[in-house]
């Protein structure tokens, strides 16, 4: 079950909301807060629903450490996902994230329990989903919408090649290129670099995998290509690739190393994130507004309800030219790749 990754610094979002939108002398008021990222590649979906408020008579740091002050009682709300195209409604179940393997990080807020809302129902690419939080006190439902990005299409390295090949040369850096629909906006690219070490007689010493993220938060271009898709690309610096290897693999003269392939993992989405960043950028800098508006796509309260997708290009071969180039000079040569 893939760990839920948030594309926004949610804690900062909540702090900003408190500082900008509450009058500390005002009567007690409860404000809903919700956030989630849906993904069709995950085996379960999790949504966090909480409440935020300031009490003029109680220190906010004290309130934050009381779990009952952060969460709605289980009987007070129902959290649903609605597939807009056919009206299918999925009711999520409340679970303790700490018991699901998602332990809440310690800090200002209480960590136990860590209530989340979960479903294992399948989420479909290209579909619009609506979050609906029903309150049992007669107040209106809280809602938000997001459209799941359709499948991403890798173009370079070319998946039609068997196997796909990537070359890191000192004078030519490789480009990762892909296609996406309008709902794919920001992308993270991770390289899972697998290699093995053999003794001089050929005996296997060990296998290992390095995880490298050369491209965090890359925005695809606004250039449309065939089929109403958008082009995304990123030049992966050869110098950065070599430096990453040198910093994570010790030099060795008593063994030979071989690349076993690179899995390129690309994850992206977040049309709502783009609008959040645009809101912040429009009011930043010395000429901007003194108070930056807090973006939310919830009908009431604060938070982000968005989506993502993921594609993996497996077993990309590192070219023989890369090995030759690495062995021309140290410190890469001292890694002893063959």
Render pLDDT for 174-208 as a digit per residue (tens, 0 to 9): 999 999 999 999 999 999 999 999 999 999 999 99
Query: Cβ distance 175 to 237 under 8 Å?
Result: no
Give 124-134 pLDDT, tens digit per residue. 999 999 999 99
183 — phi, psi (to 5°)?
Answer: -85, -10
Question: What mean pLDDT do residues 66-83 have?
Answer: 86
Lowest-confidence segment of 59-63, 302-306, 323-327 by average pLDDT: 59-63
Segments making up each domain of the chain, as ranges: 10-148, 153-268+312-335
Residue 10 is predicted with a pLDDT of 38
- At residue 51, the pLDDT reads 86
In three-state secondary structure terms, 321 is helix
Paired tokens of 262: 């690179």
Q: Which of 2-11, 46-55, 135-144, 272-281 has the lowest mean pLDDT?
A: 2-11
- Give the integer Cα–Cα distance in Å for 34 and 49: 4
pLDDT at residue 17 in the model = 36
Query: Domain 10-148 adopts which CATH fold?
Result: Immunoglobulin-like (2.60.40)
Residue-level pLDDT at 47:
96
pLDDT of residue 133: 97
Residue 60's pLDDT is what? 60
- CB contact set of 166 (below 8 Å; sequence gap of 6+): 157, 174, 262, 316, 317, 318, 319, 322
What's the pLDDT band for 215 if we cut at 50, 70, 90?
confident
Q: For position 291, what pLDDT does the model report?
A: 52
CA distance 53 to 28: 7
């Amino acid at each position: 079950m893939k760990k839920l990754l948030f594309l926004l610094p949610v804690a900062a979002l909540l702090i900003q909301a408190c500082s900008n939108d509450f009058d500390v002398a005002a009567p007690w008021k409860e404000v809903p807060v919700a956030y989630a990222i849906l993904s069709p590649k995950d085996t379960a979906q999790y949504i966090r629903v909480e409440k935020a408020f300031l009490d003029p008579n109680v220190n906010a740091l004290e309130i934050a450490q009381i779990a009952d002050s952060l969460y709605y009682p289980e009987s007070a709300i129902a959290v649903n996902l609605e597939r807009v195209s056919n009206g299918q409604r999925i009711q999520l179940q409340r679970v303790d994230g700490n018991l699901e393997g998602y332990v809440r990080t310690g800090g200002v807020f209480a960590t136990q329990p860590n209530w989340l809302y979960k479903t294992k129902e399948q989420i479909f690419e290209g579909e619009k989903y609506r979050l609906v939080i029903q309150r049992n006190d007669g107040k209106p439902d809280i809602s938000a919408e997001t459209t799941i990005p359709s499948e991403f299409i890798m173009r370079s390295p070319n998946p039609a090649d068997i196997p796909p090949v990537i070359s890191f040369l000192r004078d030519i850096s490789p480009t990762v290129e892909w296609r996406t629909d309008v709902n794919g906006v920001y992308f993270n690219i991770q390289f899972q670099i697998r290699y093995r070490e053999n003794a001089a007689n050929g005996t296997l010493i060990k296998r290992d995998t390095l995880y490298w993220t050369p491209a965090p938060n890359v925005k695809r271009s606004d250039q449309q290509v065939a089929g109403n898709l958008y082009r995304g690309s990123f030049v992966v610096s050869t110098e950065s690739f070599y430096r990453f290897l040198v910093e994570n693999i010790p030099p060795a003269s008593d063994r030979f190393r071989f690349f076993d392939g690179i899995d390129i993992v690309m994850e992206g989405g977040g049309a709502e994130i783009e609008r959040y960043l645009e809101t912040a950028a429009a009011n930043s800098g010395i000429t901007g507004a003194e108070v930056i508006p807090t973006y939310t796509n919830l009908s009431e309260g604060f938070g982000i309800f968005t989506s993502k997708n993921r594609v993996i290009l497996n077993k990309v071969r590192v070219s023989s030219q890369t090995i030759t180039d690495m062995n021309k000079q140290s410190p890469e040569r001292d890694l002893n790749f063959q």
